Amino acid sequence: MRTLIKQHLSPTYIQSLKSSLKRVKGSYLPCLPVLHQPLYHLHLAIKETIHCILQKCYFTPMFISQLKSRPRSLQLEAGMPQILGDLQIHLGEQCRISGISTWCGRVWGEKRPQLIVGNNVDIGWQNTLAVGTKIQLDDNVRLAGKIFLAGFPGHPTEPNARALGEPDTEQQIGDIHLCRDVWLGTGVMVMAGVTIGAGSIIAAGSIVTKDIPSGVLAGGNPARVIKTLEL
């Protein structure tokens, strides 16, 4: 009996068992296009119907309940943004907003932080809007994915104060203003105190530390004017 067990637990047997399991993991039932193609489209239709019902009847009304304004037209996708802190939000008409984003207001200041969003604004996937005092997005602003508007840092620069868990100081925070028709590419970071002029485009991955004039393409770290745009 012991000999039989050792034989079945031999390296050759274990390797054979692993190979069999690997084949099972990679196997699947045959694809029948006449069946599976209609089934795929039915799956998408059911999924989109459920998604639409959740967005229109659940997520969007809850999100609007947290706004100072009441837009009549709003396209909210993939749930609703995470709202942190005591943030006053004004939202314009016909905006398109990804629910996979975070909007937060600084909690240590005397004034309530304000997020002011104009009409026809896109706020993309994984955006973070950190409002120190005020962030203003004028009409037709476009924010791509993974953008960070850093109106406050969250920590002081002094290491001992940071170790004690003290908040950032008033000198570290500032307004951010994106003027009409500004477009920020994927991964852009805009620091506190910055204004980006009307119609300007910021290249993907740039870090904006100073004001950018109107009608230019800017990029880099720190962002600099690359060329003037024909508007």
> What was the pLDDT predicted at 20?
75
> What was the pLDDT predicted at 24?
78
> What was the pLDDT predicted at 176?
98
- Is it the case that residue 88 has pLDDT exceeding 90? yes
- Is it the case that residue 15 has pLDDT exceeding 90? no
Domain assignment present for 221: yes
Say whether 155 is catalytic.
Answer: yes
Tokens of 161: 């104060």
CA dist., res. 64 & res. 38, Å (int): 37
Question: Could you tell me which of 156, 220, 228 has the C-alpha nearest to residue 189?
Answer: 220
- Is it the case that residue 125 has pLDDT exceeding 70? yes
Q: Residue 170 is part of which domain span?
A: 66-228
Mean pLDDT of all residues in the chain?
91
pLDDT tens digits for range 34-58:
999 999 999 999 999 999 999 999 9
Domain assignment present for 3: no
Domain assignment present for 6: no
SS3 category, 1: coil
- Is it the case that residue 2 has pLDDT exceeding 80? no
Q: How many CB atoms lie within 10 A of CB 49?
A: 10
Spell 153-179 as b/e; 16+ CB within 10 A means b: bebbeeeeeeeeeebbeeebbbbbbbb
pLDDT tens digits for range 191-220:
999 999 999 999 999 999 999 999 999 999
**13 pLDDT tier (thresholds 50, 70, 90):** low
Among residues 8, 36, 43, 155, which one is catalytic? 155
> What was the pLDDT predicted at 22?
79
> What was the pLDDT predicted at 18?
76
Domain assignment present for 70: yes
Domain assignment present for 35: no
> What was the pLDDT predicted at 23?
78
Q: What is the pTM of this model?
A: 0.83
> What was the pLDDT predicted at 27?
80
Domain assignment present for 158: yes
pLDDT tens digits for range 133-182:
999 999 999 999 999 999 999 898 889 988 998 988 888 999 999 999 99
Count of structural domains, the chain: 1
CA-angle at 113, arms to 161 and 186, nearest 5°: 85
SS3 category, 90: strand
Domain assignment present for 61: no
> The domain spanning residue 160 has which CATH number?
2.160.10.10
Tokens of 165: 């868990």
Domain assignment present for 174: yes
Cα dist from 32 to 35, 43, 182, 229, whole Å: 5, 16, 49, 53
